[in-house]
Amino acid sequence: MGNIFKNLFNKKKTEIFFERDMTPDKSKKLYKDVDENIKVFKEYLSDCDDLITREFLVGNPQTPKHRMVIFGIDGLIDKQLVQEEIMKSLMLYARQLPLEHSVGDRFFQLIKEGLLTVVEVKESDNFGEMLLAVLSGDTALFIDKMDRGLILNTRGWERRGVQEPSSEAMVRGPRDGFTETYRVNVALVRRRIKDPNLKVQTIRLGRHTRTDVGVLYIKGIANPSIVEEVLKRLNTIDIDGVLESGYIEQLIVDNWLSLFPQFRRTERPDVVAACLLEGNVVIMCDNTPFALIVPITFYSLFQSAEDYYELWYIASLLRLLRFVAAVLAISAPAFYVAMISYHPGMLPTALALSIAATREGVPFSSTVEALIMMLALEVLREAGVRLPGPIGQTIGIVGGLVVGEAAVRAGIVSPIMVIIIAINAISSFAVPNYSLAISFRLLAFVFLFLASIAGLYGILLGYLGLIAHLVTLKSFGVNYLSPIVWFDIKKMKDMVIRAPLHFMKERPEYTHPVDRQRQPDRGIRREGSGEENAEK
Amino acid sequence: MVKKMQKNDDIITTGQAMALVINAAIGIGLLSLPREVTSEAGPDGWLVLLLGGFFTLMGALAAAAIIRQLDGRTFVDYVCFVFGKPVGLILSILYGIYFIIVLSSVFRTFAEVMKNLALERTPREFLILSLMLVSVYLIYHGLEPTARFMEFILPLWFIPSVVILSLGLYDSDFGEFLPFLQTPLEKLLLGSLSTAMSMAGYEVLLVSAQSVSRHEKISYVMAVSIIVVLAFYALILVTVVTSLGIAETQRAIWPTLAMITRITVPGKILERLDVVVVIVWVVVVYTTVCAYYFAAALTFTNIFKAREFRSFIALLFPWIYFLAMIPQNVLEAESLAKLGGNMVIATSFAIPLLLLIGGLLKKRVKKDEA
C-alpha cells in the first residue's frame, strides 16, 4: 500500500516533466563545423516533417564556395520573403562582391550588414535561441566554419485579419478588434498611443507552448508597483502550456474562490488604450484576441467603451440601467418566488389576486416552476451558442417561443413565470462584461435557493453576503469595491454615472497613477468663445 | 510592494469610522425607541430623546478624548494602565460581556420581529444562526473590510428609510406633542438614560480605536455620528407619535412597525411598504451585529493578548447563540435588551468618564514625577 503511494507521489514524475522540456538551454553552443550544426539541429527536430532545410553555396565561381544552410518551419515562414530577401541576396547578389577566401568575422559582418535584406536580423551563438526562433517562424542561417548563426525574422503565417470584435459589438466606436497574433494586437494599441512611454515587456510562458505574453503600460502613468506585481506574478507561472489568456487569469488571480472576474478582458484595442491611459496594466497573450486589464474595480465591469463616445446623459442612464439589470439578473426569479410563496400579503391585493389566478392549475410549487424554466433557458442558451448562426436562431425561436407558449398552454408553468424568467435572461445579457454575466447566471440559482428556504430574508442574506464578499475582494491589491465615496461627489464621476468629459480632469484613484492629471485644471471650457472669434 | 500603496488592512479612515458608529448605533432601538421615550414622558418624549442625545454626545466626546490618549495602546491596555491590572481586566471583561449581551438581545429581537413581520413559520434558530453566520463571514476578514462594508451600505438603507419616514409625515397630527413640558425634570433625566441603549454604539470605536487612522479628528467623527443618529431617531419619534398618537405608541411593542404598516404612499405608487421595511430592518440589524460582534471578539483578543482575533469569533459564537435563545418569549427578550440597556450606562458613560479623569490624573502625576 505504502509503495503505491510512494509511486504515486514519486519525485521522478516531476523529473520526467523536466526532461520532456526538450528545448535546449542557451548553454548549448554552436559548433564551427556546419555539418555538426546541421546534425544537432536536425536531431532536435527529428521527426518534424514541417522542417525545411536548404543547403546552398555562396560565392562567385572563382572563389571557393562557402557552405550555408537555412532552417525554417513550413507554414510559419513567409516563403516569398525567404526567397527574395535571403536566398536571392546570398546566391545571386553575393557573386558581385569580392568575398574573402577565409570565413571570419569580416565575412560574417558583410553577410549580416551588407547582404541580407531582411528587416530584423539577430546574431546567436547557441542552439536554444536558434531553435526557439525557428519554431516561432524565424529562419535560422548557419554558415560553415562559423560558431555563430543568424536569426532572420521571416514570420508570416496564415492569420485572421483585423475584424470587428464579436463579443463586444457597439454602434459608435472603432470597428477593429484584436486578432490571434500578438504583434498585430500590440500594433493596434501602438497605433492609438504614439508615445515612447508606452512600454511592452514580453516574456514567454509555457514550457511547451512558449507563448508570448506581453505586459503593456504607460510609464509615468501606471503605478510601478502594480507593473512590478504583474511581472512578478507572471514569472511565477510554470505550466506546460498557455493557450489563452484565461490560463493566465486563473493562475495569477487574487482570489481563485471568487465568482467574480478580477480581470477585465476585452478584445477592443480602444478599450485597452483607454485603460492604459487611466493607469491600468494590460496583459496580452499570443494566440488569443482577449487582453486582460488589471487592476479593476467592480464598477469598471459595468463600463462600455461606448459610454465615453456618446453623450454623458445617455451614458449615465445606460450605466444606471446596467446596475438595475444586474440586480434583476441575480434576483428576479428569487424575488418572485419569495413573494409568491412567503409573502403574498406584501403584494398589492389586485396583483396578488391576478398572479394567483394565473397560477391556478400549475402542478408545481413556484420554486420548482422557476427551476424548470431557468434550467430550460440555460440549456437553450448553451445550445444556441454551440450551433452555427442561423440554426442557433432557430433554436432560440423554437425553444423560446414555441415551447414556452406550449408549456403555458399545457399548464405546466404560469405565464407570469415566463415573463419573470425572460426578464431575468434579458437582464443578464445587458451586463456588458460576459464573465460577470455568467457569474450572475450562477448566482441567480443560488438566490433562488435562498428565496425558497427563507423568502425575502434569504435574498437579503444573499445580498449581504455578496456585498461582504465584494468588500473583501481585491484585484492586484486594489479594493474591488473602491472607491466607496458616497459623500465625495468628486470621486464619483466615473462610477454609476459618467460625468461630462471636461469634468473628468483626473485619472481614477484606484489605479494609483503616478500622474493624476489628464486635463489641465482650467475650469470648464468657456462657452461662446468660438463665436466671438468668428465675429472677429 | 502593492501593500505599500494601498491602505493597511487594519487602519480605517475617518469616514469609515463615522459609518461604523452610525451603523452600530442604529439597530433594534429603531423599533422600540418611540415606546420607551413616550412611556417615560408622554408628549415630552422628544425632550427625553434630546437629553439622551446630549448625554450620549458627552459620553462620545469623553470616549474620543480617551482615544486620543491611547498612543497606539489598545483600549484594554489603557484601562489596565489607569486602574491597575486587576480592576482594568475586570472592567475589560465587563465590556466584553456587555457586547455579548447586546449582541444576543439584538439577535433575539431580530428573530422575533422577523417572525412577526414576514416569516411566521420559520424557526428562530434558523433566523439567528443564518444571520450570525453571514456576519461572521464579514468580520472574519478584519476591521477594515467591515468598516468599508459599513461605508458602502450606510446610504443604501439610510436614504430609503428617511424617505419612508418622511412619507409618514404626509398626514400627521402635531397636536400629539401637546401638552408641552408637563413632565418633572427627574423623570426626564431618568428617561433619557433609557434612550442611551438605542444611541450607544461608539464603544465599538472605543475598543477598536487602535485602528483608526487620524486620532485628531476623532471628536469630529463622534460628534457628527451622534448627531446623525439623534436626527434619525428624532425623525422616527416625530413620525410615529404624530401618526399613531401617544396612547398607541405607548402600548405597541414595536410602534415604528405599527406606524409603517399604515403609511399610504401619496399617489398610490406603492401600496405596501412592507418589503422596504423588511429590507431596511435586516440590513440595520446586520450592520449592528457585525460591529458589536467584531468589538466583542477584539475585546477578548486584547484581554488575552492573543494575536489572532479570528479564533475568538468562533469561541464567542456558541455563547452569543445560546444567550439569544434563553428568553422564552418577546417580553423576556425585552428584559434581556433592558439588561444591556442598563450596562450601557456603565460602559458608555460611567467608565469612559472615570477613565478620562483617571487617565488625565495619572498623566499629571507622571509629569510631576518627571
Interchain contact, B126 vs A454, CB within 8 Å: yes
Instruction: Please provide the average confidence, as pLDDT, over all residues in chain A.
Output: 85
Residue A471 distance to chain B (closest CA, Å): 6
Query: Residue A246's closest CA among A231, A265, A233?
Result: A265
Q: CB count, 10 Å around CB of B136?
A: 20
- The b-or-e profile of A282-321 (16+ CB within 10 A means b, else e) is bbbbbebbbbbbbbbbbbbbbbbbbbbebebeebbebbee
Local structure of A261: helix, strand or coil: coil
Predicted confidence band of residue A17 (pLDDT cuts 50, 70, 90): very low
Local structure of A15: helix, strand or coil: helix
A461 touches chain B (CB under 8 A): yes
DSSP secondary structure string, B228-268? HHHHHHHHHHHHHHHHH-HHHHHH-SSHHHHHHTT---GGG
Q: How many residues does chain A have?
A: 536
Residues of A in contact with B126 (CB under 8 A): 454
A136: left (phi over 0), alpha (psi -120 to 50) or beta: alpha
**Eight-state DSSP code of residue A186:** H
A487-509 pLDDT, tens per residue? 566 667 777 778 888 888 888 88
Supply B287's cell numbers: 450592520
A518 touches chain B (CB under 8 A): no
Supply A62's cell numbers: 572563382
What's the angle, vertex CA A228, arms to CA A226 and CA A231, rounded to 5?
Answer: 110
Instruction: Please provide the average confidence, as pLDDT, over all residues in chain B.
Output: 86
Select the residue of A456, A477, A481 nearest B6 (Cβ to Cβ): A477
Q: How far apart are CA A219 and CA A279, in angstroms?
A: 9
Q: What dihedral do alpha carbons A346, A352, A356, A357 form, nearest 10°?
A: 180
Select the residue of B118, B145, B148 nearest A342 (Cβ to Cβ): B118
Interchain contact, B1 vs A229, CB within 8 Å: yes
Q: What dihedral do alpha carbons B8, B12, B13, B17 form, nearest 10°?
A: 180
Supply B271's cell numbers: 401600496
Q: Using CB atoms and an 8 Å cut-off, which of residues 497-516 of chain A contact chain B?
A: 512
Q: Using CB atoms and an 8 Å cut-off, which of residues 143-162 of chain B contact chain A?
A: 145, 148-149, 151-155
Residue B150 and residue B291 in contact, taking contact as beta carbons nearer than 8 Å: yes
Select the residue of B152, B274, B275 nearest A471 (Cβ to Cβ): B152
Q: Please, where are the H alpha helices in A242-365?
A: 245-251, 269-277, 306-309, 312-341, 349-358
Q: Is the peptide bond preceding residue A363 cis, with omega within 30 degrees of 0?
A: no
pLDDT score at B321: 95
Supply B217's cell numbers: 479628528
pLDDT greater than 80 at residue A480 = yes
Query: Residue B139's closest CA among B258, B5, B290?
Result: B290
Interchain contact, A342 vs B279, CB within 8 Å: no
Interchain contact, A468 vs B145, CB within 8 Å: yes
Residue B357 and residue B161 in contact, taking contact as beta carbons nearer than 8 Å: no
| Span of A39-43, A101-105, B6-10 with lowest mean pLDDT | B6-10
Predicted confidence band of residue A16 (pLDDT cuts 50, 70, 90): very low
A178 touches chain B (CB under 8 A): no
pLDDT score at A4: 52
Q: Percentages helix, strand, coil for chain A, rounded to the nearest 5?
A: 50, 15, 35
Residues of A in contact with B153 (CB under 8 A): 467
Predicted confidence band of residue A379 (pLDDT cuts 50, 70, 90): confident
Predicted confidence band of residue B117 (pLDDT cuts 50, 70, 90): confident
A78-93 pLDDT, tens per residue? 999 898 888 888 888 7
Select the residue of B2, B118, B155 nearest A477 (Cβ to Cβ): B2
A9 touches chain B (CB under 8 A): no
Residues of A in contact with B2 (CB under 8 A): 225-226, 229, 476-477
pLDDT score at B298: 92
Whole-number Cα distances in Å, A345 to A52, A359, A474, B347: 79, 16, 41, 42
B169-205 pLDDT, tens per residue? 877 777 777 777 777 888 888 888 778 778 888 889 8
| Span of A101-110, A156-165, A219-228, A460-469 with lowest mean pLDDT | A101-110
Q: Using CB atoms and an 8 Å cut-off, which of residues 181-240 of chain A contact chain B?
A: 223, 225-226, 228-229
Interchain contact, A342 vs B119, CB within 8 Å: yes
Interchain contact, B152 vs A481, CB within 8 Å: yes
pLDDT greater than 50 at residue A534 = no
**pLDDT higher at B125 or A159:** B125
Local structure of A1: helix, strand or coil: coil
Predicted confidence band of residue A533 (pLDDT cuts 50, 70, 90): very low
Residues of A in contact with B154 (CB under 8 A): 486
pLDDT score at A223: 92
Interchain contact, A348 vs B126, CB within 8 Å: no
Residue B111 distance to chain A (closest CA, Å): 11
| Span of A59-63, A229-233, B21-25, B207-211 with lowest mean pLDDT | A59-63
Interchain contact, A346 vs B5, CB within 8 Å: no
Sign of CA dihedral A339, A344, A348, A350: positive
pLDDT score at A322: 93
Lookup result for grid cell 470621486? A491
Residue A498 and residue A310 in contact, taking contact as beta carbons nearer than 8 Å: no
Q: How far apart are CA B350 and CA B347, in angstroms?
A: 6
Residue A233 and residue A281 in contact, taking contact as beta carbons nearer than 8 Å: no
B276-305 pLDDT, tens per residue? 888 899 999 999 999 999 999 999 999 998
Lookup result for grid cell 434558530? B125
Phi (first) and psi of residue A525, to 5 degrees: -55, 130
Predicted confidence band of residue A281 (pLDDT cuts 50, 70, 90): very high
A348 touches chain B (CB under 8 A): yes
**Eight-state DSSP code of residue A212:** E
ipTM comes to 0.91
B43-62 pLDDT, tens per residue? 888 888 998 899 899 999 99
Choosing among B5, B112, B121, B264, which should be mutated to test the A contact, i.e. which has the most A CBs within 10 A?
Answer: B5
pLDDT greater than 90 at residue A200 = yes
pLDDT score at A19: 40
Strand locations in A98-228, DSSP E?
121-124, 139-143, 149-152, 198-205, 211-218
pLDDT greater than 70 at residue A186 = yes
Interchain contact, B151 vs A349, CB within 8 Å: no
Cβ neighbours of residue A350 under 8 Å, at least 6 residues apart?
A: none
Residues of A in contact with B114 (CB under 8 A): 457
A337-367 pLDDT, tens per residue? 999 888 888 888 888 888 888 888 888 899 9
Interchain contact, A454 vs B271, CB within 8 Å: no
pLDDT score at A485: 59
pLDDT greater than 70 at residue A276 = yes
Domain borders along chain B are: 2-359
Residues of A in contact with B6 (CB under 8 A): 477-479, 512
Q: Which residue of A has its CA nearest to B123?
A: A454
Q: Which residue of A has its CA nearest to B144?
A: A472
Q: Which residue of B has its CA nearest to A230?
A: B2
Q: Which residue of A has its CA nearest to B156?
A: A486
Q: Which residue of A has its CA nearest to B135?
A: A465
CATH classification (class only), B2-359: mainly alpha
A486 touches chain B (CB under 8 A): yes
pLDDT score at A95: 75
| Span of A7-16, A40-49, A77-86, B338-347 with lowest mean pLDDT | A7-16
Give A479's strand partners.
A474
Q: Which residue of B has its CA nearest to A348?
A: B271
Burial status of residue A253 (CB atoms within 10 A of its CB: 0-12, 13-18, 19 or more): middle
Interchain contact, B118 vs A457, CB within 8 Å: yes
Q: CB count, 10 Å around CB of A223?
A: 23
A462 sits in which H/E element: helix A434-472
